[in-house]
Amino acid sequence: MRNPNGNRYLLARRIHGVRSKLGFRADWLFPNNVCKLQTPMFSFTFVFSLKGKVVTFWNEVMTTTTWFFITVCKLLQIYMGDKPHIKNISSNVDRQAILHKYAYKSDTTCVSHLRMTRRCFTKLCGMLHTLSGLRTSRQMDIDEQVAIFLHIIAHNVKNRVMIGRFQRSGETISKIVTRVCNAMIRLHLYLLKKLEPVTENSTNQRWKWFKNCLGALDGTSIKCLVPLKDKPKYRTRKNDIATNVLGVCSQDMQFIYVLPGWEGSAADGRVLRDALLRPHGLKVPRPGYYLVGVMEKSRNYHNWTITEDAKLVEALVNMVNMGGFKADNGFKSGYSQHLENALNSGILGKPHIESRIKTMKKDWQVVYDMVNGTNTSGFGYDTSTHSVTAEPAVWDSYIQDHKEAGKWRNKIFPHYEDLCIIFGNDRAQGNKAKDFAQMEEDANNEEQSEQIEMVLKNKPQKMKNLQT
């Protein structure tokens, strides 16, 4: 006799065979003629009636349907399992723990991360708040803002790295750095040391020999990123892309004056002259003085004639047009031998040709600064007479601060246009150099512009709220 429940047993066995592999469960409830299918995502219940062939047909249909749902559920499980489940943990970040790790854990960790002790860090935060007007934002305190700024400038950390370390967005970090930097600039009146000359009765073993000395000054090169078209002006003699920064220090190595922004190819003498001529620049009260380093000049033993100068300039122009030896800021190695062969007059490439090129470039720079300088209105170059033209009053005023320009007042400079082709792209202008007074003014103007922009941005919303 055939078991009336045979079809149900068959269905149960089929379901049972796949449930261990796919993680599903199927139960057959005989008294109620109910088949219950449970999956990780869905649960189905099927009710059967025992009516001969109808039951057999219905069991086959339900077997097919069960396999269909099992296949769909398995595909969904595979699809959902391939995607990473990333939880938003920003709301659970302990900001105080992160700040304590970088600033308040110990003096050793604070110096390692921020380059100052905890006491100095707390004092700096107080000065930025009381003297520079740095305020807490809606989501960030002053100490966290200062810690982010100091950590970036101390370790040259990228914005992407700071996002992971402080759990802040890149836009927030960028705004904070600009805000704290402007506040630091406003502290220049309090952080820069006042002038204190060496007294007559000084007992310092190092400085007692320099009576009335105010300190020492020197230039340093700091690497930077500039657009491709500006790289020739910023390339130093060591082939680095950097900016030339003038630093003036007191006897105890504290800064008195700083002038950043000059191109790396600019000589230290030009940067120093610019600092002395600025309205809020470096001051040297008499009888005080600063210690500086001086390079010994080598003597050129070859007397160059006008004809030899013309041939040398012609050979330089041809060499530049050929493009084989011209570099960003000067010439490539081997250029002196190439010029020696081009002249073919017995003049040696080293040291005669190299020394003459340096002298020509130095004279051209003086004339170029008069004609194309930023604060030299009134000068011009006459191509017919090959000389610099200006009114006598303009000459007198300019020569007072630029003694080296006096020899070109009544003297021709015949190769100016050709030398502009040779050296024109290499001349640093110092247009981006700013002292602390100018930077403070720019910072104030920037903040005023941001405040005006915020007011104009919020005004339509306020008017809309009033209307509603």
Residue ranges per structural domain of the chain: 6-82, 111-191, 213-291, 306-426, 441-468
Instruction: Output the pLDDT for position 214.
Output: 92
Distance (Å, whole) CA 283 – CA 277: 9
**Pairing label, strands 213-223, 242-249:** antiparallel
Distance (Å, whole) CA 355 – CA 360: 9
Instruction: Output the pLDDT for position 466.
Output: 54
Question: Which tens digits make up the pLDDT trace of 185-211?
Answer: 999 889 999 999 998 888 888 888 899
Distance (Å, whole) CA 251 – CA 209: 12
pLDDT less than 70: residues of the chain: 1-55, 80-92, 294-301, 324-330, 332, 374-376, 424-429, 431, 459-468
Q: What is the DSSP letter of 302?
A: -
Q: What is the pTM of this model?
A: 0.58
SS3 39: coil
Instruction: Output the pLDDT for position 18.
Output: 46
Total number of residues shown for the chain = 468
**The amino acid at 165:** R
Q: Which residue has the tokens 């110096």?
A: 111
Distance (Å, whole) CA 329 – CA 240: 10
DSSP assignment of 57-99 equals HHHHHHHHHHHHHHHHHHHHHHHHHHS------GGG--HHHHH
Distance (Å, whole) CA 14 – CA 12: 5
Q: What is the DSSP letter of 42?
A: -
Tell me the percentage of the chain whose pLDDT exceeds 70.
Answer: 77
Distance (Å, whole) CA 388 – CA 363: 12
Instruction: Output the pLDDT for position 356.
Output: 81
- Choose among 183, 184, 190, 163: nearest CA to 174: 163
**Cβ–Cβ < 8 Å for 198, 213:** yes
